[in-house]
């Protein structure tokens, strides 16, 4: 199991570093403005396929039984929990550090999405699946085997926040903690995947909405923002 997890982390890191290939002649057949988005999307798809193949031996692992209705309740409740966590953390972050309501990381991704709309698939679906496997299933799950939930969740959430390299440690860390809580309570990684993906979908809709953009330019509220 450890070897599989190390392999997945290596594949994920290589995926994150593959963007530089967009600057090489290898993508000369792709329009210049879309090369970065194309490379990111391609690398995420390859990373997801390899990750799922590596995890194949674990597909028969038994988990504690949970009623389907309970799972659905956790998924729906998890979406609200994560979004509420983001809002509260955003308010705390702004009042403590005066940080901007918007995430530079998200803005950069949205600029790419306007040039290469297909990158939205990576943001809303592939990215959340990979991040939940890496930060919740592998990192949090491994740490939680020999330390209490709280410490395992804090460490994995801090790594999750640092991986986004955005400076909003409180916001990303809080979101990571909420996702770890969902995974810990349900023992089902797809519950946190749904919550994570839904959060990113909401953030994408807000970030790409011209009406929201106009509202932010006029009012610049500290209580609204989007992060993924």
DSSP percent split of the chain into helix, strand, coil, nearest 5: 80, 0, 20
CA 97 – CA 108 distance, rounded (Å):
22
CA 158, CA 202: separation in Å to the nearest integer? 23
Which stretches within 132-186 are classed as H helix?
141-143, 149-164, 169-186
Contact assessment for residue 144 and residue 184, using Cβ atoms and an 8 Å cutoff: yes
Owner of token pair 């810990």 = 184
**Active-site annotation holder among 58, 67, 107, 131:** 131
Active-site residue 132, yes or no?
no
Is 58 known to be catalytic?
A: no
Q: Which residues are annotated as catalytic?
A: 131, 164
């Amino acid at each position: 199991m450890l070897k599989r997890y190390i392999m997945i982390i290596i594949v994920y890191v290589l995926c994150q570093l593959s963007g530089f290939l967009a600057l090489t002649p290898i993508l000369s057949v792709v329009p210049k403005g879309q090369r970065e988005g194309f490379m990111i999307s391609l690398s995420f798809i390859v990373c997801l396929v390899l990750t799922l193949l590596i995890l194949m031996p674990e597909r028969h692992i038994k988990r504690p039984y949970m009623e389907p209705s309970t799972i659905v309740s956790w998924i729906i409740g998890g979406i609200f929990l994560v979004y509420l966590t983001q809002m509260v953390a955003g308010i705390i972050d702004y009042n403590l550090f005066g940080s901007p309501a918007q995430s530079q990381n998200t803005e950069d991704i949205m600029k790419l999405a306007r040039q290469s709309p297909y990158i939205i698939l990576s943001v809303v679906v592939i990215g959340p699946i990979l991040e939940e496997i890496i930060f919740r299933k592998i990192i949090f799950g491994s740490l939680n085997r020999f330390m209490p939930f709280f410490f395992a969740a804090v460490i994995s959430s801090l790594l999750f926040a640092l991986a986004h390299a955005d400076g909003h440690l409180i916001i990303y860390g809080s979101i990571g903690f909420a996702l770890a809580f969902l995974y810990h309570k349900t023992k089902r990684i797809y519950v946190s995947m749904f919550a994570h993906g839904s959060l990113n979908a909401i953030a994408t809709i807000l970030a790409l909405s011209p009406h929201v953009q106009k509202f932010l330019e006029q009012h610049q509220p500290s209580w609204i923002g989007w992060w993924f």
